[in-house]
Amino acid sequence: MPETLMHPVEELTEAFQAASRDAKFQAELAHLLKHFAGRPTPLFHARHLSEHLGGAQIYLKREDLLHTGAHKINNCLGQGLLAQRLGKTRLVAETGAGQHGVATATVAALLGMDCTVYMGEEDMARQAPNVFRMRLLGAEVVGVASGSKTLKDAINEGMRDWVTNVSNTHYLMGSVLGPHPYPLMVREFQRIIGQEAREQILTTTRQLPDLLVACVGGGSNSIGLFYDFIPDREVKMVGVEAGGRSLSLGEHAARFAGGRPGVLHGAYTYVLQTPDGLISNTHSVSAGLDYAAVGPEHSALFRQGRVEYCHASDEEALEAARLLARMEGIIPALEPAHALAEVVKRAPRLGREQIIMVNLSGRGDKDLGIFQQAGIL
């Protein structure tokens, strides 16, 4: 990390630790999560899809029903309150699919803060409705034309803004990426997904799930679902990365399939890169998974073998989205559609008494243009 940001990051670490112990902060966050964001989210038994695939019972954790349409709001409310506590008046964020940008702009409006969101120009084009939503919420959206014009480049530009305006600005990282304390802090704000889901499945079925499935871009929705199940050794977990068009470098974002350990944006983790250590461009139909590095905690879980990582292609994700829409009347975002693509492969291999739980991390409204272009009707 640049030296200029080291002291701010140390301050943030202290503030986060203090807030974690502060009952008033926790109560305020819990209040907003319930009354503003709409928690707890339901756990839905997708009976028709389960029947259709002919194997395990599939349960969907409905993060897509949250205010702003994805799990991102959980983390934004937490960090927004923390930024206020630090006396910051301005939020800066990167966004890929725009879900994190919309959630940040929403929290900025709610808390009366200024907001600037950096977004790759390619992502602005393919997720145009979210650009409009952010602007309507009062945020400034700045297009980034460098590099691959996607999430990695937006983070570079967001960091440049932060390093310049560090005295009044909080960088609201949207995933379990970046320097400490971000990976830990974002995980703590997303853990609620798994905490709720664990209680819900035990109440409904009186058993733990056999398999958890979630998509992995930076990895916040997946770590959020997985974390509280880690001690349950009998629960298998699968993280699904973006397989893109093919597995040649630049055509996908499957870090565990094509990457190796390196440093990007202040984290040591699996990174897609050239032999010379230059960060590779990536491709995915889903802007939210289109990033060259993965959250460092996922690298640790991969090395420990606690979580298995696989990938789904653009085509498989689009097909899985269509299937869910037809079977259950739910249009998923393209990010969790990657998780559903893996469920399509695995459910038939499991028994009917077994349970797969999927994090349906966001809804598909933002992707209608891509669905249309892909001609999946």
Chain mean position to CA 355 = 23
Q: Which of 282, 99, 95 has the alpha carbon at shortest distance from 171?
A: 95
Per DSSP, the three-state class of 242 is strand
Shortest gap between Cβ of 100 and other proteins (angstroms)?
A: 18
Output 78 or 217, the one with its CB closest to other proteins.
217
Output 67 or 88, the one with its CB closest to other proteins.
88
Q: CA-CA distance, 12 to 83, in Å (whole number)?
A: 9
Answer whether 63's CB lies under 8 Å from 41's CB: yes
Answer whether 309's CB lies under 8 Å from 252's CB: no
Taking CB under 8 A as the criterion, which residues in 8-67 touch other proteins?
8
Q: How many CA atoms within 13 Å lie on the side-chain side of 64?
A: 22
Q: CA-CA distance, 135 to 139, in Å (whole number)?
A: 5
By CB under 8 A, tell whether 181 contacts other proteins: no
The position carrying tokens 């459910």 is 347
The site for other proteins, by CB under 8 A, has a size of 33
By CB under 8 A, tell whether 152 contacts other proteins: yes
**In one letter, which amino acid is 141?**
V
Judged by CB under 8 A, the residue of 110, 111, 166, 230 near other proteins is 166
By CB under 8 A, tell whether 168 contacts other proteins: no
* Cα dihedral: 306, 308, 309, 310 (round 10): 180
By CB under 8 A, tell whether 173 contacts other proteins: no
Task: Mark residues 101-140: x for contact with other proteins by CB under 8 A, - for none.
Answer: ----------------------------------------
End-to-end alpha-carbon separation of the chain, Å? 46
Instruction: Give how far Cα 226 sits from Cα of 229, 236, 308, 343, Å.
Output: 5, 10, 12, 16
Name the residues annotated as catalytic. Answer: 72, 94, 361
By CB under 8 A, tell whether 5 contacts other proteins: yes
Judged by CB under 8 A, the residue of 185, 264, 294, 347 near other proteins is 264
Output 50 or 156, the one with its CB closest to other proteins.
156
Judged by CB under 8 A, the residue of 7, 35, 47, 349 near other proteins is 7
Which residues, at least 6 apart from 49, have a Cβ–Cβ distance to it below 8 Å?
58, 323, 324, 327, 328
Taking CB under 8 A as the criterion, which residues in 195-224 touch other proteins?
none
Judged by CB under 8 A, the residue of 42, 87, 277, 348 near other proteins is 277
Shortest gap between Cβ of 163 and other proteins (angstroms)?
A: 6
By CB under 8 A, tell whether 167 contacts other proteins: yes
Shortest gap between Cβ of 271 and other proteins (angstroms)?
A: 7
Output 292 or 307, the one with its CB closest to other proteins.
292
Which residues here bind other proteins, judged by CB under 8 A?
1-8, 146-147, 152-153, 155-156, 159-160, 163-167, 262-266, 271, 273, 275-279
